[in-house]
Chains A and B, each alone.
Chain A
Amino acid sequence: MRSISLAAVALLPLAAAVLLRPEPASQGEAAVLRNAPLPAFEPIARRIVVVVVDGWRRSDALSGTGMPNVERFAAAGSRGPMMAGVRSFTKPCLRTLFTGRPGTFQDSLRNVSEDHVTEDSLFTRLTGAHRLWGSSTYSPDFAELFGDDMRVGAARVYVGKGADDFGPYVDDDAAEAGAMRILDDAAVVLAVVHFGSVDHTGHILKPWSPAYREALTATDRRLGRIAARLDLNRDALVVLGDHGADDDGHHGGPDALARETAFLAVGRGFAKGTPAFAPEDFAPTLAILLGVCPPASGVGAPDPALLSLDPAALKGRCDRCLLARFAVAPSDAKRWEGTPELARYLAAPGFGPAEAERFRAFGPRAGGSEHPPIQALLGLAIVAAVIGIWRIGA
């Protein structure tokens, strides 16, 4: 009898898990912002190649051991640490990088199944400005995530077909070949390349294995070949990890090692130095260099420490984007209208760290709590029921 009562109570949390799934608080607002007409500007970099090295551990990225090309680019540009979001699976991290929004609980749960971004992203902004972009990735994750943008605006999309045996693990050869074909098109302003062998080798053979070092070296060679297609006086190259990995090669949660990764930025528009960088700021920073506005749903800002731009010119672009976003998001405009924060921001002559911080604050709310208070009541009911069944059983 007690088991039957417990079974009945056990169904409550299962029902709760189904019925009270946390939803992003700003889902409706994101749909409005996605279609917002935002201004476009003259691009600063002719073309940018973004190489995402899946699972690039910070220690590997910053030491550069076995990655001579990374060392060469780091000496010429910026390289620094980056802390991925607390949900350190690939999908939430990619979402953060290209939308400027933190990943959600559902991103983690759906890491291996179909999912797509509904907010606006860097790609939405490029498509809105009629600028071509392409992606070449080792797995379909990227195409699934940004499927809405790809259907509308991508110039080229390549997805690796997998390898025939256990040796290469993932099809980085195909990802590199796709990148080269994208770079053949002179009109493409942004190419995103996603390599997976480092992450996969780490998962399977562990980060301390010789095969992992080989995967790092092979990825470095690929970087060298891709960079050879760029003129870094007019183009730019960004290499970054989406997340890190722990000593077992795994990731997904808030553990420091799983989140610790790094970035490298070199070429037109990027400063030299070793600043720390936030993944939420990645899309806004790239947007400025590509002559479009940061994604309107994002909570990041262009990072002035990473950009070698005139602060006043940077501020001019950011102001126009901010005012255009306020025009399509009246609730945000109302929230900040007449506040000292907005007045101080507008009065500033340039865009420095303080202005970047305010720009982030002016963005949409990060979503607040995804868990309604009714969950607490349900939890109380469950605890009371279990204690009651115990007492009856005793």
Chain B
Amino acid sequence: MSGSAAALLLALAALPGRDQWAGALLLAGALALAARGRGSGRSLVLCVAAAGVLTVLPMSRTPLGHSAGLAAGDAALVILTVLLAPGALREARPRSLRFVALLPPLGCIGSWLAPHMRLAVLASATFTRIAVLFGLALFVFAAATRQRRLESLAFASLASCFFPGWRTLFLVLLEGMGLLSPDTPPVPGRFRGAAAPLACLTLLVLLSGGYGLSRIDLTLIALGDSDPVNPDVAWGATAVLLSYAVSLAAAVRLAARAAGGPFGDHVAHALAAFVLFTGADLIWLGAARPGILLTMRLEEQLVFDVAISALLLALTAATALVERGAPRLQRRLTAVPEDRSTPGAFSS
């Protein structure tokens, strides 16, 4: 990792609260990217930034803003599905994948239309679970076999289950930016090591409300399960972890596209940064004796940093496994000659 990236991450680690900085980083990063881009690329980056800012504005928490956000997010997912579905179905390998390729977006649409009856078989929550399970499986498979349209479709559907409204719009625009962006990475090489951690911090604020147990905008309720007497704690915990995994996957994919280089390197950089943050949290808590409010924020931050380190650890292992097995799988599916396969299983 370059000195600039390391210095930036060390400075972030030294801060007891990292929430507000992530918001500022979003704006600074978007403006820097827009300044480097040209024409439609610059417009697209500004649209992504605007959608990101919308997710945290107070107006999104008004009746009108909430309804508008839901409509915008749903419309964005439908448009993305319509645009990508023909290509994704045409390129689907193995061919049998075509039968399930559209299940994630259809599951999402079903969850919007189905009644919110807990006991009904075809309830909204059932469709949401279908979208989550198939979206996750298809996303991993498509990423490993480099089927980019299918990967984007599955990821956008998966993400929209956890992050409805303005945040779906933001993620769909992000997918669009990834599909349309030029091959030249807009992030300077000396900041490559910091791209994934900064994207993680920024997306955690935008998608999950940032650090803080109080701001987890993802509960069983958000997934359509609402039984206060017998809550499905296992599903709830899985859903919360999945939501963070989705945030992290989005961040690392963004970093790989914006800064270039293998996906695995960005995962390793993010892991290094969050382990560093965890160490800094422990120093603050054990030595600094801060006041109760700061202590609580640090405790929440520690829980998050440990959880995110664990998820990144799992992602590191999964990336290594996929990168080993992906070329063979890809050759089998698409009959690409061995000398044309490249390292880095996940598309970037």
Contacts and interface: CB of A to CB of B under 8 A. Distances in A.
Given A3-B264, A169-B226, A14 B119 contact: no
Interface stretch (A117-125, A249-257, A262-270, A308-316): A249-257
Given A13-B306, A376-B282, A376-B286, A162 B233 contact: no
B1 A394 contact: yes
Interface string A365-394: 000010111111111111100110110011
Nearest to A369: B289
B117 A166 contact: yes
A243 to B, nearest CB: 10
A386 B309 contact: no
B212 A253 contact: yes
Nearest to A196: B228
Interface stretch (A38-46, A105-113, A127-135, A354-362): A105-113
Contacts of A383: 13, 276, 279-280, 283
A371 to B, nearest CB: 4
B330 interface: no
B118 interface: yes
Interface residues of A, number: 72
Contacts of A2: 268
Interface stretch (B89-97, B150-158, B213-221): B213-221
A206 B66 contact: yes
Interface in A328-372: 369, 371-372
B271 A373 contact: no
Nearest to B278: A13
Nearest to A87: B296
B175 interface: no
Interface string A75-89: 000000000001111
Contacts of A380: 279, 283
B303 interface: yes
Interface stretch (A4-12, A275-283, A293-301): A4-12
25 contacts: A3-B264, A7-B313, A10-B271, A13-B279, A14-B310, A112-B236, A162-B227, A166-B226, A196-B228, A204-B221, A208-B63, A247-B61, A251-B214, A253-B213, A254-B297, A255-B215, A258-B214, A371-B285, A375-B282, A376-B283, A378-B279, A379-B283, A379-B287, A387-B276, A394-B2
The 10 closest A-B pairs by CB, nearest first: A253-B214, A379-B282, A376-B286, A382-B279, A375-B286, A252-B214, A376-B287, A379-B283, A162-B229, A13-B278
Interface of B: 1-2, 6, 10, 13, 58, 61-63, 66, 115-119, 209, 212-217, 219, 221, 226-231, 233, 236, 264, 267-268, 271-272, 275-276, 278-287, 289, 292-293, 295-297, 299-300, 302-303, 305-306, 309-310, 312-313, 316-317, 320
